[in-house]
Chains A and B, each alone.
Chain A
Amino acid sequence: MFFLQSLLSGILTGGVYALAGIGMSLVFGVMNISNFAHGDLMMLGMYLAYFAFTLLHIDPYISLLLIIPTAFLFGFIVEKVFIHRIISHPHQNQILLTIGLGLIMSNTALLAFTSDPKILTTSYSSSAVHILGGISLSVPLLLSFTITCGITGILFLFLSKTTTGLALWATSQNREAAQLMGINVAKMSAIAFGLGTALAATAGALIAPTYYIHPMAGHTFLLKAFTICVLGGLGSVVGAGVGGIIIGIVESMSSTYLSSDWKDVVVFIIFLVVLLLRPQGLLGKKGEQ
């Protein structure tokens, strides 16, 4: 029973992690950049959901309708102003620029919102549904997971059916070839970063009701998102989805059977083992590293 309980709650949390991982993988695939500001973008999403709830009294799940376009626009502008200038620079400079942007975001949040953790309590925050006699699933997590599945589905349709989506795929497969085929790769980068930001902020908003909202919250999620991406193969959107679920399950299992203090250690050890044995990721193609 314990096993089933922790498996299911792992899958539900993993779904939200997957969303953050997919955003990072998309940016990596299209732009070949490791975005170290991803966690802080998630943190901004958490605050957006929090303020939409406390100031405008909008339910966190409804406020996604506002958060997604806002975050997309924000990401689009950040790409145009900063990231776009270093797209052909060495990896380490790209990493440092995104670290710098992340520090600016988290510390601006610290100045503006103080370091006191905020809690978003909805009327259904602590309610749970019981299934199969004894397994309880938290309602906010269940809602988050459902929305995650919906958004992932829409994203997948967008990437595989629309012209812009196909152009994004093409850019991620081969930037030069895509450019030669007449695809505006600079615009694709901005769209990819906008989408990545929107996905990060969505993931942030979705976990806001079940997590402490804090200016430095991004740190933990950043490392998780990286683990997820590497697990699934950097740049692979489907891989990131699978990676997210796996990490969710691993965390939940190690909390149940080991101790919640050590769950992050287990995640990082898995991360290193994957890097050692299958650096192209579980679903990645060989030779990409």
Chain B
Amino acid sequence: MKQIILIAVIAGIAALLPFVIGDSPYFIGVLISVLMMAALSSAWNILGGYAGQYSFGHAAYFGSGAYTTMILISKFNFNPLVSMVAGIIVACIIALITGSIVFRLRGHYFGLASIAVAEIVRLSALNFDFTGGAQGILLTDVTLWGLDLNSKIPFYYGMLLVLVLTLGITLYLRTSKTGFYLQAIREDQDAAASLGINLSFYKNKALLISAALTSVLGSLYAVYIRFIDTSAVLDLRLSIEIILTAIIGGVGTLWGPVLGAVLLVPLAEILRSNVIGDALVKHGVVSETSGLGVFLKENLAHAHVLVYGIITVVCILYLPKGILGFFRRVK
């Protein structure tokens, strides 16, 4: 109950944010990224955190949502919501195929197999013609119920809605039979099986929920950006970012993935948009024309992945249960 109120309060504050900060497209854009990564990471957390099945291939579901939606809208003029549902179906089919292969495996093999499936999906999208190949797909025009889809606001609330939905499902699962079964599977598969839990049924159930939510986010993202290619929506890097966000916040906790996204996405944004480099130049710490200034300007934007790497290493070594897990232990 306490958690439901907390979700409602935080969602309420988030819903009011656009009114507070005004309609600065830049800040709304960053907030959309935060909400999206929080939702992606929370959806992954259902499978990875609660069922203990670390999928390293979640980009496949994000990408299937994004690609299905874009193909249906741009080539067949489908309604965006219908194509989003189609995306869920495609993602679920891929999830079922993946599940039937990878859930027979454990430990190292599970992670490796999930990468292999995601890479097959990525390379197929890259090599087929109907997916636009290396050029990707561009969407020129899209309409839905007279909403202004050129504005970022509808997507902000769309992402927020999916995040609240994901957190709600997580909360429900936590206290339901399925949730307890999943946690039993995470703690000890053999013990869970010997108590009569149908391992592959419950693992597949968690994967399907997780994949469907991830696919919805992929569809939203695609219509929001209006351009997708394999490196944006199907890359292994995306799968890894999703996991890192959950790890850094706290795997298997309700709020861990959200906390991870709130910390990491703005950090990446700061590095990417060169705020630090510009500030150093502006305050005269380094001159713009000096060697260091030029180097910072050209390269700092690439450094956010490096910072991700450093944070991951530090986190695994010193905070293996993430930030929330760390505080829970202290308590």
B308 touches A289 (CB 8 A): no
Interface residue A265 (Cβ < 8 Å from any Cβ of B):
yes
B120 touches A103 (CB 8 A): no
B302 touches A100 (CB 8 A): no
Interface residue B263 (Cβ < 8 Å from any Cβ of A):
no
| Partner-contacting stretch, out of A1-9, A48-56, A69-77, A267-275 | A267-275
B124 touches A265 (CB 8 A): yes
A102 touches B309 (CB 8 A): yes
A103 / chain B contacts, CB cutoff of 8 Å = 305-306, 308-309, 312
How many residue pairs, one in A and one in B, have C-beta atoms under 8 Å apart? 122
User: Closest Cβ of chain B: how far from A196's Cβ, in Å?
Assistant: 15
B312 touches A99 (CB 8 A): yes
B111 / chain A contacts, CB cutoff of 8 Å = 34, 91-92, 95
A207-241 at interface with B (beta carbon < 8 Å): 219, 223, 226-227, 230, 234
User: Closest Cβ of chain B: how far from A116's Cβ, in Å?
Assistant: 13
B100-152 at interface with A (beta carbon < 8 Å): 101-102, 104-109, 111-113, 115-117, 119-120, 123-124, 126-127
Interface residue A257 (Cβ < 8 Å from any Cβ of B):
no
B316 touches A93 (CB 8 A): yes
- The verdict on A91 contacting B108 (CB below 8 Å), with A96-B244, A103-B309, A261-B127 known, is yes
B101 touches A111 (CB 8 A): no
- The verdict on A223 contacting B115 (CB below 8 Å), with A95-B54, A107-B305, A111-B306 known, is yes
CB-based nearest B residue for A103: B309
User: Closest Cβ of chain B: how far from A277's Cβ, in Å?
Assistant: 11
| Partner-contacting stretch, out of A15-23, A81-89, A139-147 | A81-89
Interface residue B247 (Cβ < 8 Å from any Cβ of A):
yes
B300-315 at interface with A (beta carbon < 8 Å): 302-303, 305-306, 308-313
B120 touches A93 (CB 8 A): no
Q: Which of A92, A115, A259 has the most CB of B within 10 A?
A: A92
User: Closest Cβ of chain A: how far from B226's Cβ, in Å?
Assistant: 26
CB-based nearest B residue for A115: B302
Q: Which of A108, A115, A276 has the most CB of B within 10 A?
A: A276
Interface residue B320 (Cβ < 8 Å from any Cβ of A):
yes
Contact with B120, one of A108, A110, A226, A269 (Cβ below 8 angstroms): A269
Interface residue B21 (Cβ < 8 Å from any Cβ of A):
no
Interface residue B5 (Cβ < 8 Å from any Cβ of A):
no
Interface residue B60 (Cβ < 8 Å from any Cβ of A):
no
- The verdict on A34 contacting B112 (CB below 8 Å), with A107-B306, A111-B299 known, is yes
Add 8 more A-B contacts to A91-B111, A104-B310, A107-B302 (CB < 8 A): A91-B107, A99-B312, A102-B309, A107-B306, A226-B115, A271-B113, A275-B101, A279-B105
* B interface residues, Cβ below 8 angstroms from A: 48, 54, 56, 101-102, 104-109, 111-113, 115-117, 119-120, 123-124, 126-127, 236, 240, 243-244, 247, 299, 302-303, 305-306, 308-313, 316-317, 320
Q: Would you mind naming 10 contact pairs between A and B with Cβ atoms under 8 Å apart?
A: A92-B54, A99-B240, A100-B308, A103-B308, A110-B306, A223-B116, A230-B109, A271-B113, A275-B101, A276-B101
